[in-house]
Structure 1
Amino acid sequence: MNSDLSPHEAFELFFLKNRHKLVNAVAAWTGDRHLAEDIAQEVMATLAAYRYDRPEILMYQMARQRLSRPAFIPSQYHPLDSKIDEIDRRTCVSGADSVVDSLDLDAELLRALRRLPARQREVIVLEVICDLSQEQVAEILGIRGSTVKTHKARGLRKLEELMARRLSATGPGAEQPVGGV
């Protein structure tokens, strides 16, 4: 954070720059925008109350910790997979895509992301969607840079395969699959 600013002003700048990234990361991991907003709010409140050397790394670590605490996740929480299936079944209902649309990401990409193993999804969200460096992702996830590189390569390959399959299945003359991906 900038040393010319008061701690309050520095945090305000940090908040404005990073909150949206954190919400999008958690939303992409979970598929639940409301849960992402709750976690981001809790993380930002914690970061505002204390001084940290590297809050941009810590915020993602804290969000991941919140997600690993079963008591934090509300009982009505349903991962994106079930919401997308529900949306696919109700395409005729006005506004059914609002769950997906609110995530700032393409619905097809979110479907494919949710089909990746958790670690590959975490790496891709942090490095590609949140635009963090390989070193930052390694620090956040507590793994080596080479492991990040491996998960990213495998995840991107799988995403490409899933998206290509989806596009070929929904191309001209192809029948729409029932129930989504």
Structure 2
Amino acid sequence: MRDTARPATGAGDDSDDFQAFVIGRWARLLRTAYLLTGEQHAAEDLVQGCLERTFVAWRKVSEARDPDAYVRRIMVNTHARRYRRGLKEYLSRGDGSGLGRELPESGDRIAQAVDRRDLFAALAQLPVRQREAVVLRYWEDLSETQTAAAMGCSVGTVKSNAARGITRLRSAIGLTHPGAGTTHSLHEGRTS
């Protein structure tokens, strides 16, 4: 009798590992995709496309030193290709409602600093590279080096795009007024 529970090649192990990876990362990937796209359905499509590419290269991804970084890079590249044309028009209708059901993580300084709807609307107005730099640096809390790797650019490009993006966000959502008590929340103390 032959045991049909698991293939002899170990392919089932890969499938199980991939499934565990997806289950463990789905919420975070969806949140990042939403911040990149500005729309819930587009975010779901982006994550799905990213995971399809990840599954095809799963053996390589799972053996990578940092699988999360590998998948972030796939997501950023997929997003850049998919949403390059007409992005501003597409994002201008985003209202932040896609993440309205999500409770902020404890210590989520962005959620504490401003109303999410205003932040998402302002984020949607940033140019693509600035939005990517801000989302990866300050929402995903990646270092400049990790962000540069995910975006496929230099650390200097990350620094300039993140600084410009933060400046535009501050002016768009009124974080430059000291009386508001929130001027330090988006960009203080960030160095690496």
Please indicate the TM-score interval, normalised by the length of the shorter structure. 0.5 to 0.7
Counterparts of residues 95-110 of structure 1 (less than 5 Å): 98-99=97-98, 101=100, 106-110=116-120
Gap runs ≥5 in structure 1:
1-5, 85-96, 168-181
Residue of structure 1 aligned with 2:72, choices 52, 60, 75: 60
Residue of structure 2 aligned with 1:136, choices 143, 146, 158: 146
When the two chains are superposed, the root-mean-square deviation of aligned CA atoms in Å is 3.2
Gap runs ≥5 in structure 2:
1-12, 104-110, 178-192
1:176 aligned residue: none
**Equivalent AA in structure 2 for residue 21 of structure 1:** R
Q: For residues 17 and 124 of structure 1, what CA distance do their matches in structure 2 show?
A: 24
Q: Does 1:112 align with 2:122?
A: yes
2:34 aligned residue: 27
Report the CA distance between 1:121 and its aligned residue: 0.7
**Equivalent AA in structure 2 for residue 14 of structure 1:** F
* Distance verdict in 2 for CA 1:100–1:107, change over 3 Å: farther
1:155 aligned residue: 165
1:40 aligned residue: 47
Q: For residues 125 and 135 of structure 2, what CA distance do their matches in structure 1 show?
A: 13
* Deviation by residue 1:62-114 (Cα, 9 ceiling, x = unmatched): 223333445x89xxxx6231244xxxxxxxxxxxx744625777111001111
Question: Under a length normalisation based on structure 2, what TM-score does the superposition of the two structures give?
Answer: 0.62
State the percentage of identical aligned residues.
Answer: 27
Aligned residue pairs total 148
Q: For residues 137 and 148 of structure 1, what CA distance do their matches in structure 2 show?
A: 7
Report the CA distance between 1:55 and its aligned residue: 2.8
Report the CA distance between 1:30 and its aligned residue: 1.4
Deviates more, 1:23-32 or 1:135-144: 23-32
Report the CA distance between 1:123 and its aligned residue: 0.5
Question: Under a length normalisation based on structure 1, what TM-score does the superposition of the two structures give?
Answer: 0.66
